[in-house]
Each structure stands twice: as structure tokens, then as C-alpha cells.
Amino acid sequence: MSRTRTHSWADPAELAALARTMSGLDFLRHLMVAGEEARIPMASTLPFRITEVEQGRVVFVGEIGEHVFNPIGTVHGGFAATLMDGTAGSAIHTLLPAGVGYVSMDLSLHYLRPITLDTAGPIHAIGTAISRGRRTGLATVELRDGDDRLLVHGTSSCMLFDLEG
């Protein structure tokens, strides 16, 4: 039996223009409060949303469903990796001034438990910035289930750059 999903997102060019004018902390808070109106394009494809933002720390919540399964009936590791990559990068983003952006340089994850429909949900990715230099930032990230059990943990480093150039 075939299944379908419908989703929508905000114009990425408008979000990028807004990101250039706000600190990372203010931008992420704006996205959290704006909700559907400013839905991150990737977050409409893979179901996650920002639920907490403070300086150096961000929490994303992901919804488990069949649409993120691999062929053997568990959540695809790429869904967890995408959720965690966005969370870790966002934790670093909270430390950046207006006009400075980031891209992931690496992401190292350790999967500890399978994620299935029986996993207590929703799942929470918690990103914490460890350091921010002039050109790089480093963060840790954890993925926990609804019972606060650790599912995946990892680290990420990001390259920092001027959004105008």
C-alpha cells in the first residue's frame, strides 16, 4: 500500500537574507517562535523543529514515523545524523554575530540503540557548543528518546565564514 506526505516550507532566500541581519541566537529564536511561517526547508522534509534556544545550547525535537524508516524497519541513521548535524551547528550558530554563518566540517556519531516505532518519542537532539574560535566552532550532540535514554552521541566541527563574501 502506498503512502503520501505533504509539506511546505519558507522561501530559503528570505530566510538567508534575514539570517544576515540577526545574531545566530536571535535568528534561531525567531525561527522557533515563527513556527510554520518560517519553517526551515529541510525540517519540512524530515520532521523536526526547534524547541529550545539559549546561548551555546539548542534542542531540536524529531518525530518518528514510517517515512524515515530504512528497508529493515528501523529509523534510517541518516535521519538521526541530519537531526544531530542541524542541532550541533545551531548550538554553534547561537554564538555568532549577525553576518557570520557556518557549515559543517565533520560530524562523528556513535549509535547506541536502534530507533523504531516502539522507541519512546518524540526524540530530542541536544546540541551544546564547546568552543568558538575565529574560523571554527566545536559542539557535542546527544539524541535521546522520550524516556531520556541516550540513543546516539557525537561531536561536530563547523567552519565559520562571512555571509556576505
List the chain domain ranges.
Answer: 12-162
1 has pLDDT over 90: no
Overall CATH class of domain 12-162? alpha beta
What percentage of the chain reaches a pLDDT higher than 90? 67
pLDDT value of residue 44 = 78
**Spatial CA neighbour of 19 closest among 134, 97, 92:** 97
pLDDT of residue 38: 63
Q: What is the pLDDT of residue 133?
A: 96
Helices vs strands, H then E, count in the chain: 4, 6
Distance CA(80)–CA(54), nearest Å, equals 22
pLDDT of residue 164: 81
pLDDT digits (tens, 9 = 90+) for 23-77: 999 999 998 887 665 677 887 788 888 999 999 999 999 988 888 888 998 999 9
Which residue in this structure is represented by grid cell 535568528?
27
How do residues 67-114 score in pLDDT, each as one tens digit? Answer: 888 899 899 999 999 999 999 999 999 999 999 999 999 999 999 999
